[in-house]
Chain A
Amino acid sequence: DQQVKQNSPSLSVQEGRISILNCDYTNSMFDYFLWYKKYPAEGPTFLISISSIKDKNEDGRFTVFLNKSAKHLSLHIVPSQPGDSAVYFCAARYNTNAGKSTFGDGTTLTVKP
């Protein structure tokens, strides 16, 4: 049973437009959510996170929205840039150990110039 799902394996967006990456989860015990970005041949890089007590967190061009009732979160990138092209992983955790995050399968974002 996959507890964190990213249903879109890929997304293609024009430069300057908004990119919206979606993530759904099933475990209502999750209370902290993260987005990681991964370039080929590199490890994931932490991007932005949100606690379950909030519904929005913003950092520059990146905003994460959390809808607890729908068990859904999304990452908005505005404006999208070609350098944003990467695989984006959604992760969620509730365990007492920060390392036991559950990751989604990732969404490959391609931003076209």
Chain B
Amino acid sequence: DTEVTQTPKHLVMGMTNKKSLKCEQHMGHRAMYWYKQKAKKPPELMFVYSYEKLSINESVPSRFSPECPNSSLLNLHLHALQPEDSALYLCASSYGTARGSGNTIYFGEGSWLTVV
């Protein structure tokens, strides 16, 4: 079972709203990721969590705040977003973060975010 589940699938929020995206995996993976993907563009890495600790922040604006409550859950808290933040937000996980061949990244279906 290689399943990463994300909720909600669609989210529309105003620029003053506070909302959260949620991600869950039960594959025993210890690394979890947030990516952002615009239409017709490849995924862009935002954050990496390894063993529930933030290990990489790709210079993401503070209006995006990740949280990893436990090894199976990853949240992305959203506040004061801009219309240009509208995109598909993908959660992913892998067994580990080392570059070995076993650490393939598995993506969820994504959460479509529209900021109005």
- A and B from one complex: yes
CB of B42 within 8 A of CB of A104, answer: yes
Size bracket, chain A contacts: 20 to 34
Across the A-B interface, how many residue pairs have beta carbons closer than 8 Å? 79
CB of B94 within 8 A of CB of A98, answer: yes
A25-58 residues with Cβ-Cβ distance < 8 A to B are 31-32, 34, 36, 41-46, 49, 51
Grouping DSSP codes into helix (H, G, I), strand (E, B) and loop, the A interface class, with mixed when no group exceeds half, is loop
> Given A41-B112, A46-B106, A105-B41: A99 and B92 within 8 A (CB)?
yes
Size bracket, chain B contacts: 20 to 34
> Given A94-B99, A99-B92: A44 and B41 within 8 A (CB)?
no
CB distance from B44 to the nearest CB of A (A): 8
How distant is the Cα of A49 from the Cα of B102 in the complex, in angstroms? 10
CB of B101 within 8 A of CB of A51, answer: yes
Please name all residues of chain B whose beta carbon is closer than 8 Å to the beta carbon of A95 when the two chains form the complex: 99
CB of B99 within 8 A of CB of A99, answer: no
* Partner-A contacts on B (CB < 8 A): 2, 4, 6, 31, 33, 40-43, 45, 48, 55-56, 88, 90, 92, 94, 96-101, 103-110, 112
How distant is the Cα of A41 from the Cα of B9 in the complex, in angstroms? 9
Please name all residues of chain A whose beta carbon is closer than 8 Å to the beta carbon of B106 when the two chains form the complex: 46
